[in-house]
Amino acid sequence: MVDHDNARVVRMYEYGKGPKGEVTAPPTAAPTAAPFAQPVEVPEAQNCFNAMQMPELEWTRGDDGSFSADLVMGAVSLTTANGKMRTRAYNGMIPGPVIRMKACNTYKLTVHNDLAAWPAGNNGNGAINGMMGPTMTNMHTHGLHISGEAPSDDVFTVIDAGDAFEYTYTLPCDHVSSTAW
């Protein structure tokens, strides 16, 4: 839980499960290395939930025959029937654009992380299946038969706030016409 008024992070423990297993009350606070930034205005997301046809990512063919595109992750405001909320979106759309690729082609997808940096010392513990940095992102495909190593479909690639990473996906000519998802 984040206490914005006092600029501190409060860790929530279940009663009786302290760091060493002893019975303890939850700690009240852990100081942060830097105060939280004040909320800033963010653009309204393009709500694509009710679209007749989902928007698609537009690829540009390069001189080398490969295709390239940019995907930008950023903060947006989304208005729903329950009110307005702040969330993340790719290219300002919720959900993000449909990404289509064809066999026998190479695609270069640059993912830009336009989220604001998280205060130092609050980037998660990095444990597998643990809380990671809330402003980190990556891109992972499901069902493509491509390399699992960077710069391709490496699930361990981390794109920090303010950074970008270019993924390269080379689809074999015998790739099936669907990811079966």
pLDDT score at 32: 42
Is position 142 within any domain?
Answer: yes
* pTM of the complete model beyond 0.85: no
**72 and 13 share one domain:** no
* CB hemisphere CA count around 147 (13 angstroms): 10
- Does residue 119 have a cis bond before it (omega within 30 degrees)? no
Is position 3 within any domain?
Answer: yes
**Is 64 exposed, middle or buried, given 0-12, 13-18 or 19+ CB atoms closer than 10 A?**
exposed
Domain extent, residue 112, equals: 42-181
State the Cα–Cα distance between residues 110 and 46, nearest whole angstrom.
21
Query: Residue 117, SS3?
Result: coil
pLDDT score at 181: 54
For 51-90, how does the pLDDT look when each residue is reduced to its tens digit (9 = 90+)?
Answer: 667 889 999 999 999 999 999 999 999 888 888 888 899 9
